[in-house]
Amino acid sequence: MTSKLFTPLKLGCIGTLQHRVVLAPLTRNRATEPTLSPSSLAVQYYRQRASRGGLLITEATHISPESLAYPATPGIWSTEQVQGWRQVTDAVHEKGGFIVCQLWHTGRVAHPDYGSHPCNRELHYQPGVSASPTQIVDRQGNPGKTVTYDGTKEHAVPKELSLQDIFRLCEDYANAAQRAKEAGFDGVEIHAAHGYLIDQFLNNGVNRRTDEYGGSVKNRCRLLIEVVEAVSSVWPEGAVGVRISPHDAPNGGNTYYGCKDSDPDAIYSHAIQLLNRYALAYLLVTEPRWVGKYDSTPESDPGFEMPLTNLHKYRSLFDGVMIGAGGFTPATSYEASKDTEKGYDAIAFGRWFISNPDLPERLRTWHDYESRGRQGVPEPPPLNRYERATFYAPHEKDGYIDYPSMDFFNESTESTESTKNPDFKGMVAGKYELVDQSQIGTSLKDIKSNPKSKM
């Protein structure tokens, strides 16, 4: 039986995907300072991960300086940024791939110190805003910590956005959407997940407003809908996606930046059903099975063994294409793809796509192997093991463009001549440990790294 992950999928007006292995949006902290434009390394990073008919979603990209919350993260509001992203989109399109830009506003996660960033000199934005002046705190109720260019500081009490501010905010989203079109993207994705601004409006643990943007689930969904409409005024039907991250427990559970709700199932169910009014390209849903404590060690990460929850809660509520993300392995992606009616339509990978630029092809061999009962076909190749220490390393090539593809590894072992394949630029053979695809997820605690096994 052919795996659903390797069958075509019509994705609105973006185009028809030739496979359903998606690059999830991944912050990498490698934008050029002080313009916050994509660098030449970013062009190579996305080029390496592009494939014919494959979908890449960019790292979260600021719609304005008001969103700045981390060093060296890119924007999409200036001419310089558009020019930088144009090089990225051109590289992806040269390989026959599709790429959409994730539009991002961090809200209260941004520290006011970012207001002094050089890119904010003329616009005079003041980072650190939210639905309400609700500060990010730790489990003991103390102010949470965040990273600035001057080191670690306490999260500030955010400024509550006024009605006039919200109107301007929607204009910022529309401007960023227009800039993304100028940069040559195939579509855009609205980041409404992971405790950032739109998620802050959704959750009543943060949103304590008493006006038309607070209180009822309808009111708390208002900003999400207004942003969708603002972005859709720029892009045609079927070119806009939305990402959400329903969490799994009242007043806590697996939440992001303390963004919690008294009844999360109610707010996210309402939001998803409202989104059916719009001809979205897709809805990207995060499964709440990321465990930060173990994120750096795939051998002991319990997230790879947790069951799907959001698929079963919300798949029946959404009429369009739904993409799943969070904790998928080769084995679980194969099982999820066997259900052609109730499963996710596509699966987005993050960490494994970072360390395996040719992840779709590696997974294809695994799915072929499984679909044929592991008989009569070669065993699938291993995966490069990711190194979390390099996920967020400004200006570093390590852990960014040096993970080798199978083609690069094969060529480097068979020939000493330099290759002319542009994808291979920056790749290094023999640097990273390997993980057998069959071992990931089901017996992680029994896996022992083999430092001699490297690609």
Q: Which of the residues are catalytic? A: 196
- In 220-248, which positions are buried (b, 16+ CB within 10 angstroms) versus exposed (e)? bbbbbebbbebbbebbeebbbbbbbbbbb
Question: Is the four-CA dihedral 126, 131, 134, 140 of positive or negative sign?
Answer: negative
> Which residues 6+ apart lie within 8 Å of 224 measured at CB?
190, 192, 198, 201, 202, 242, 271, 274
Peptide bond just before 34 cis, omega within 30 deg: yes
What do you get for the CA distance between the two ends of the chain, in Å? Answer: 30
- Please state, in angstroms and rounded to a whole number, the distance separating the CA atoms of residues 194 and 95: 31
Task: List, in sequence order, every beta strand (DSSP E) within 173-294.
Answer: 187-191, 240-244, 282-286
**Helix or strand (DSSP H, E) at 30:** none
Other beta carbons less than 10 A from residue 395's beta carbon: 13
> Which residues 6+ apart lie within 8 Å of 157 measured at CB?
133, 134, 135
Q: For 238, phi and psi rounded to 5 degrees?
A: 85, 10
Question: Is the four-CA dihedral 333, 338, 339, 341 of positive or negative sign?
Answer: positive
Cα 29 to the center of its chain, rounded Å: 13
> Of 318, 312, 368, nearest to 343 (Cα)?
312
Task: List, in sequence order, every beta strand (DSSP E) within 338-382.
Answer: 346-349
Task: Let me know the angle formed at the C-alpha of 196 by 33 and 401, rounded to the nearest 5 degrees.
Answer: 45
Mark out the alpha helices in 50-109 (DSSP H runs).
79-94
Q: Say which amino acid occupies 134.
A: T
**Helix or strand (DSSP H, E) at 198:** helix 197-202
> Which residues 6+ apart lie within 8 Å of 55 measured at CB?
11, 14, 17, 22, 23, 97, 98, 99, 100, 346
